[in-house]
Amino acid sequence: YAGSEHPHAAQNPKLFVFNQVSQIVKK
């Protein structure tokens, strides 16, 4: 999960954070 999102973190930090939160919420 994290590995696939890292490339997008610099380009779209908001999307990266959104994905992080989504994973936490699912748990």
**CA 18 – CA 20 distance, rounded (Å):** 5
For the chain, the average pLDDT equals: 71
Confidence (pTM) = 0.42
Contact 6, 15 (CB under 8 A): no
**Amino acid occupying residue 5:** E
pLDDT at residue number 4: 58
pLDDT tens string 9-21? 456 778 778 888 8
